[in-house]
A and B are shown apart, each in its own frame.
Chain A
Amino acid sequence: MLSLLAPGALLALTALAVPLLLHLRRRSEQKLVRFAALRWLGQGARPRSQVRLEQRLLLATRLLLLAALVFLLAGPVWRSAATASQPWVVVTPGVDPAAARAAVEGSPTEWRWLAPTFPGLDRATPAPAGADFSSLLRQLDAEMPPGAALQVVVPQELSGLDAERLQLHRAVEWRVVAGNTPAPAMPAHTGNDLQLALRYDAQHTAGLPLVHALAAAWHAAGLDVTVDEAQSDTPPAAGVDALFWLGADLPEPLRQWVRTGGTLVAADPAAPEPVPGSSDVDAGLPTPIALGQGRLLLFSAALDPTRNAALRNPELPTRLLALLRHDAAPPDRAPAASVSPLRAADAAPNTAATTPLDIWLALLAALLFLAERILSLRAARQRP
């Protein structure tokens, strides 16, 4: 199915009048001939109509060329035919597949998990969609052919919602079943205390003063800081808010500890070793990386204030504390029944499976231009 991205450009089709006028105008330029034997010229040989077009082939080529350019401006795309018009059922991870099948009326054939790539429901339960829930639904809405029915099976409590109510371009059947979205475990931060752990090996002690300074800074800020410090790789206790690791590769016991929901601060093992005499780097604060249910805060340079300008920033304690305490997460959980998607008012274009035709149209225009040049030259040569 052919459709245009910018149908307003078709107004430029009025330019077709230009070659028409050009070919008409030449008609009126009749050659004046002095002809004394006029009386023997027949009257019947008059031009049949005054409005006549000369060089119709050339005119047709020019019109086609203009039309091709105009359509090129209008942005033509080819949409594959809406084959998958059968209704889909997507099931949010966290819902029992059996319960979902029981909740849906009729007998739809397409059962999918609401997860990236939309795997079939017979596959294993994918990881919770988390913050991607709204995004995945919007993607599905955009990619499905218009008019295809969509049923969404959601648990009673949804997470990963946007601040705004979800708006889709189709009517969605919203099936709420028992269950809730498993949210990633968040480290609990309560009260005024901050439990730190520090693990290091013998070769990497340059960062020790940094951790001590951080602890001192937080203590000075009024926090009740405790530091569990050891030159080993034994994981700390479960209630520790942050584990500092000074060393080369992260030992497996610590990694395991992070997976259970801990937060680890370390230098990125992939970061280059500081070279003596080299200039400072300012790698900034790390971005949290999820690992299991925990987080990794990896500085992209060694934890050595003499080498890493970011560590000398006076705001480091404040900002690192904010990272550790996992602030600024907006509320994204709501009862599913209250957040059924709305119907979007604007008819957004379906961008599903569109093939731009620009290349072919441009090629056609180039060929037409070539043909127009050849015909025009030939006509000019025939004219005396």
Chain B
Amino acid sequence: MSEPSYAGGFDPAAIPAEVRARLRGLRLGTRLNSRSAGIGQHTGHSRGAGLEFAQYRAYGQGDEPRQVDWKLFARSDRYFVRDALRESPLTIWLLLDASASMEQADAARPHYRKLDAACALAACVAEIALQQGDSFGLAALSGAGMQVLMPGGGRRHRDRLWLELRALRHGGTLPTETAVRPLWERIAPGTLVLTLSDDFDDTLVAFAERLAAAGRDVLSIGLLTAEERDFPFLGGHRFHEPESGAELHLEARGGADEFIGRFQAARAGLSRRLAAAGIRHCDHYLDEALDAPLQRLFRAGGWAAPN
């Protein structure tokens, strides 16, 4: 192939077939509308313009004259308004962390970085959204700034997403909150926001908290390597932190228990913090199946997944 290999290097073929098959059982949903009962693809609470007939009801003040069923008026001499179910379209924003810390991979699988997993997860979610006829958008944050794909639907939009993921700029540190501010205007209230990050940087966590507080339904998948979970290092190592450039010379064997303890405590703290903000969170380790976090998030009870 003469195609240039982009830094992001996302390849839709990276989603294994069995994962793709399992995605069919998943449904994206937002719980913000779950209070209002209704029918439809999503529990939208607005009835109105739509193709699918719902009911006739008496004409009331405020109804548009063009909604009146004039043929019925001719037969019954009464004004009836033809009511249709309006499908409530769901918008999913994929908030992708593409900072340098996401470039980390396990030694056992050195070419599968957190960033690759995040891209694959984003593509999976886009796949589900496509099945449901929802629209999806992407905002990737890296040291190079923001890379935004406005929400849209359909296969062509999915291809656009793939292209964005393929040409993803990454590296550096996350932009400051001021730099992210334009996203506020684009992520409309009521949308579903999914952050894909290792959450090591507080910027994205704080941003997610504010989004959740401002009426967006925020989900979070924390991407972690198996090494961060198990700390399997033996002997002397030079640990290099890519974002700050800090280095630590360590005798790894002795530090394993301490690190695992501290790290798990930190993750638990993060989990509590996100839960307090109303954000559903789960961690995904790189040696797990790709759809595992999606199953946990979207199969969990209490979700408006119609059967």
Interface-facing stretch out of B45-53, B132-140, B151-159, B247-255: B247-255
| B102: chain A residues within 8 A (beta carbon) | 36
| Contact B258–A44 (Cβ < 8 Å) | yes
Interface assignment of A37: CB less than 8 Å from any CB of chain B: yes
Interface assignment of A117: CB less than 8 Å from any CB of chain B: no
Interface assignment of B273: CB less than 8 Å from any CB of chain A: no
In chain B, residues 198-216, which have Cβ atoms closer than 8 Å to a Cβ of chain A?
198, 200
A31-B237, A32-B238, A45-B258 as given contacts; A37 in contact with B228, CB under 8 Å: yes
In chain A, residues 35-49, which have Cβ atoms closer than 8 Å to a Cβ of chain B?
35-48
The answer, among A35, A44, A46, for a CB contact under 8 Å with B249, is: A46
| Contact B236–A27 (Cβ < 8 Å) | yes
Cα–Cα, bound, A46→B249 (Å)? 6
| Contact A35–B240 (Cβ < 8 Å) | yes
Interface assignment of B302: CB less than 8 Å from any CB of chain A: no
- Of all chain B residues, the one with the shortest Cβ separation from A45 is B255
| A124: chain B residues within 8 A (beta carbon) | none
The answer, among A33, A42, A43, for a CB contact under 8 Å with B233, is: A33
Cα–Cα, bound, A45→B259 (Å)? 9
What total count of A-B pairs have CB within 8 Å? 83
| Contact A36–B238 (Cβ < 8 Å) | no
Most buried by B among A27, A38, A44: A38
| Contact A34–B240 (Cβ < 8 Å) | yes
Residues of B whose CB lies within 8 Å of any CB of A are 100-104, 107, 198, 200, 227-228, 233, 235-244, 246, 248-252, 254-255, 258-259, 262-263, 266
The number of chain A residues touching the other chain, given as a range, is: 20 to 34
Residues of A whose CB lies within 8 Å of any CB of B are 27, 30-48, 52, 54
Q: Provide 28 A-B residue pairs closer than 8 Å at the C-beta atoms, listed in order of the A residue.
A: A30-B237, A30-B249, A31-B235, A31-B236, A32-B237, A33-B238, A34-B240, A35-B227, A35-B228, A35-B239, A35-B240, A35-B241, A36-B101, A36-B241, A36-B242, A37-B200, A38-B240, A38-B244, A39-B200, A40-B262, A40-B263, A41-B239, A45-B251, A45-B252, A45-B258, A46-B248, A46-B251, A47-B251
| Contact A31–B238 (Cβ < 8 Å) | yes
B230 to chain A, nearest CB (A): 12
Cα–Cα, bound, A73→B262 (Å)? 57
B264 to chain A, nearest CB (A): 9
The answer, among B107, B198, B228, B254, for a CB contact under 8 Å with A45, is: B254
Known: A38-B239, A45-B251. 10 other contacts (CB 8 A): A30-B237, A33-B237, A35-B104, A36-B101, A36-B243, A38-B246, A40-B266, A42-B255, A45-B259, A47-B236
- Of all chain B residues, the one with the shortest Cβ separation from A52 is B236
- Of all chain A residues, the one with the shortest Cβ separation from B262 is A40
